[in-house]
Amino acid sequence: MPKKKLNVGLIGCGFMGRTHSNAHRKVGNFFDLEYQPVLKAICDINKETAQAFAERWGYESVETDWAELVKRDDIDLVEICTPNDTHRDIAVAAAKAGKMILCEKPLARNVAEGVEMVQAVEAAKVPNLVSYNYRRVPAVTLAKNLVDEGRLGRIFHYRAMFLQDWTISADLPQGGNALWRLDVKVAGSGVTGDLLAHCIDTAIWINGGIDKVTAMTETFIKERMHNLTGKVEKVGIDDACAFLARFKNGSLGTFESTRYARGHKALYVFEINGEHASIAWDLHDLQRLAYFDHRDEGQVRGWRSIHVTDSDHPYMGKWWVPGLSIGYEHSFVHQIADFLEGLAKGQPASPTFREALETQHVCESVLKSAQTGAWESVPSV
């Protein structure tokens, strides 16, 4: 059967533009899907950048203005891989133009923008998805399945950390290409929106909603040169954030993120402790899931290290043969595979904009609590 074509218009030629483009190129080779993505147009404000990207990844055409791209009749799916301050405007325009949308995380800089985005996609009834890719690492999906099967029993604790060390130097400027994550006007927040958002998304997905949070944040380097103005300017982002959470299911959460953990480049870890069993996962060893089951026979009871590469593990039957690993990039392939499968079945892939708004609410409550010093209730979506 010939596949239906899904014409992709991707905006943003950075790191995320590459992960999404790579996923589109691979997905049809490994997953049996009704739809085949076609790399129709790539957009970047810099024409040379867009042209070089188009050549490397095989895009058919180039745009320098996202507003032109979202209007094109030959585009079905708009992918937003640009800095956070552009998400709302692109998504609202794309929804009005009737396009499906895949947006990089976090959904927006804040809840107000996120709400506008949810309203736009729901009014236009267009399929939409936010790219929280770590959900689709097979070991993380397995963790979710084990919890859903009830193997852990009642959950007592959920703890997660996302640690990096790339902004420790006081000489690092803020703003502009690659450094927009340090500019609060563009990013909306620091580690809370950039890194903890991943931890919160995974936590809500696996352990359910969060009721209340209490947080502390710190900005260690108070001023940095701004690349775009050439002036030394106040730093408005949170460099580090730690918060406590009470989940709706009665379990307790502890979350920490920083870009000042010397030696850690991208250490995302989480652990869940339940009545019968515990689970732990580590991005640096992403193919393994640690599992401890108290019901095992005493003499052999202990932490198992499950190598999540067997054909009956999530997604793994689509790849090589049991025992052979896949990695970070594949979480994006799985994401687009799920999106396309959802399209064929008329069932939205998760997290939709509305679901991702829940994470945005938690981030906003965390930042509020860091200012008020009080416990803050997380509003429901």
For binding to ligand SOE (CB under 6 A), which residues are involved? Answer: 164, 194, 266
For residue 195, the minimal CB distance to ligand SOE (Å) is 6
**Taking CB positions, which residue lies at the least distance from ligand SOE?**
194
What is the token pair recorded at 154? 């009642």
What span, in angstroms and rounded, lies between the C-alpha atoms of 257 and 363? 12
Which residue number, 164 or 214, has a Cβ lying nearer to ligand SOE? 164
Which residue number, 143 or 197, has a Cβ lying nearer to ligand SOE? 197
DSSP state of 162: E
What is the token pair recorded at 4? 């239906």
Closest to 163 (Cα-Cα) out of 129, 197, 196 = 196
DSSP of 25-37: HHHHHHS--SEEE
What is the token pair recorded at 120? 């736009």
Which residue number, 164 or 258, has a Cβ lying nearer to ligand SOE? 164
For residue 28, the minimal CB distance to ligand SOE (Å) is 25
What span, in angstroms and rounded, lies between the C-alpha atoms of 87 and 79? 10
For residue 203, the minimal CB distance to ligand SOE (Å) is 15
Which residue number, 66 or 180, has a Cβ lying nearer to ligand SOE? 180
Which residue number, 258 or 352, has a Cβ lying nearer to ligand SOE? 258
For residue 41, the minimal CB distance to ligand SOE (Å) is 24
Which residue number, 123 or 266, has a Cβ lying nearer to ligand SOE? 266
What span, in angstroms and rounded, lies between the C-alpha atoms of 142 and 135? 10
Q: Is 212 within 8 Å of 246 (Cβ atoms)?
A: yes
What SS3 state is found at 268? strand
Which residue number, 247 or 332, has a Cβ lying nearer to ligand SOE? 332
Which residue number, 38 or 137, has a Cβ lying nearer to ligand SOE? 137
Helices (H), the chain: 15-30, 47-57, 66-71, 87-96, 111-124, 138-148, 184-187, 191, 197-207, 328-345, 353-372
For residue 15, the minimal CB distance to ligand SOE (Å) is 6
Phi-psi region of 150 (alpha: psi -120 to 50; beta: other; left: phi over 0): left
What span, in angstroms and rounded, lies between the C-alpha atoms of 143 and 279? 7
What span, in angstroms and rounded, lies between the C-alpha atoms of 214 and 227? 34
For residue 131, the minimal CB distance to ligand SOE (Å) is 9
For residue 295, the minimal CB distance to ligand SOE (Å) is 35
For residue 262, the minimal CB distance to ligand SOE (Å) is 15
